[in-house]
Amino acid sequence: MARASTVHLCSECGHTEPRWHGRCAGCGAWNTLVEEHPPQSGAGRPGRAQRRAGQAAPAAQPRALAEVEPPPIARLGTGIGELDRVLGGGLVPGSLVLLGGSPGIGKSTLTNMALGHLQAAGRRTLYVSGEESADQVRLRAERLGAGALSVPVVAETDVAVVAATLEAERPEVCVIDSVQTLHEAGLGSAPGSVGQVREVCLRLMELAKASACAVILVGHVTKDGSLAGPRALEHLVDCVLQFEGERERTHRILRALKNRFGSTNDVGVFEMRDGGLVEVLDASARFVAEAAHAPGSVVLAAMEGSRPLLVEVQALVAASELVPPRRVVTGLDRNRLALVLAVLARHGGVALGSSDVFVNVVGGVRLDEPGADLAVALAVAGAARGQPLTAGSPGEPRPVACFGELGLTGELRSVAHPDRRVAEAGRFGLAPVLCPAGGPRAEAPARGRRAPAGNEGTIELSSLRAALSTALPGRATPSRAARAA
Residue 298 lies in a domain: yes
Q: Of 224, 250, 281, which one is at a domain's C-terminal end? A: 281
With a cut of 50, say whether residue 457 has pLDDT above it.
Answer: yes
- The lowest-confidence range among 62-66, 198-202, 365-369, 371-375 is 365-369
Task: Check whether residue 264 and residue 296 sit in a common domain.
Answer: no
Task: Check whether residue 300 and residue 185 sit in a common domain.
Answer: no
Task: Check whether residue 265 and residue 292 sit in a common domain.
Answer: no
With a cut of 80, say whether residue 476 has pLDDT above it.
Answer: no
Number of domains present in the structure of the chain = 3
Q: Where does the pLDDT of residue 463 fall: very low under 50, low under 70, confident under 90, or very high at 90 and above?
A: very high
**For the chain, what is the mean pLDDT?**
84
According to the model, what pLDDT value does residue 12 have? 72
Residue 53 lies in a domain: no
According to the model, what pLDDT value does residue 441 have? 36
Task: Check whether residue 277 and residue 303 sit in a common domain.
Answer: no
Residue 44 lies in a domain: no
- The strand pairing partners of 402, in sequence order, are 300, 434
Task: Check whether residue 272 and residue 260 sit in a common domain.
Answer: yes
Task: Check whether residue 126 and residue 207 sit in a common domain.
Answer: yes
- Please name the residue ranges forming H helices in 121-156: 134-141, 146-149
Q: What is the CATH number of the domain that holds 373?
A: 3.30.230.10
Task: Check whether residue 314 and residue 190 sit in a common domain.
Answer: no
With a cut of 60, say whether residue 453 has pLDDT above it.
Answer: no
Q: Where does the pLDDT of residue 40 fall: very low under 50, low under 70, confident under 90, or very high at 90 and above?
A: low
Q: Where does the pLDDT of residue 366 fall: very low under 50, low under 70, confident under 90, or very high at 90 and above?
A: confident
CA-CA distances (angstroms) from residue 344 to 34, 196, 301, 316?
46, 51, 21, 15
Task: Check whether residue 308 and residue 423 sit in a common domain.
Answer: yes
With a cut of 80, say whether residue 149 has pLDDT above it.
Answer: yes
According to the model, what pLDDT value does residue 281 have? 85
Residues 218-226 have a mean pLDDT of: 80
- The strand pairing partners of 183, in sequence order, are 158
Residue 48 lies in a domain: no
With a cut of 70, say whether residue 472 has pLDDT above it.
Answer: yes
Share of the chain above pLDDT 90, in %: 49
Task: Check whether residue 224 and residue 298 sit in a common domain.
Answer: no
With a cut of 70, say whether residue 112 has pLDDT above it.
Answer: yes
Residue 303 lies in a domain: yes
Q: Of 281, 302, 318, which one is at a domain's C-terminal end? A: 281
Task: Check whether residue 252 and residue 327 sit in a common domain.
Answer: no
According to the model, what pLDDT value does residue 53 have? 53
With a cut of 80, say whether residue 58 has pLDDT above it.
Answer: yes
Q: Are 215 and 73 in contact (CB under 8 A)?
A: no
Share of the chain above pLDDT 70, in %: 87
pTM: 0.76
Residue 71 lies in a domain: no
According to the model, what pLDDT value does residue 409 have? 94
- The lowest-confidence range among 73-87, 248-262, 404-418 is 248-262
Half-sphere exposure of residue 97: CA atoms within 13 angstroms, side-chain side = 28
Residue 24: closest CA among 39, 35, 9: 9
Task: Check whether residue 34 and residue 101 sit in a common domain.
Answer: no
Domain that holds residue 147: 76-281
Task: Check whether residue 83 and residue 95 sit in a common domain.
Answer: yes
Q: Of 281, 298, 322, which one is at a domain's C-terminal end? A: 281
**Cis ω for the linkage preceding 397 (within 30 of 0):** no
According to the model, what pLDDT value does residue 77 have? 94
Q: What is the CATH number of the domain that holds 111?
A: 3.40.50.300
Residue 57 lies in a domain: no
- The lowest-confidence range among 141-145, 167-171, 403-407, 466-470 is 141-145
Full 3-state SS string of 252-303 = EEEEEEEECCCCCCCEEEEEEECCEEEECCCHHHHHHHHCCCCCCEEEEEEE
- Please name the residue ranges forming H helices in 157-193: 159-169
Residue 58 lies in a domain: no
Residues 335-356 have a mean pLDDT of: 93
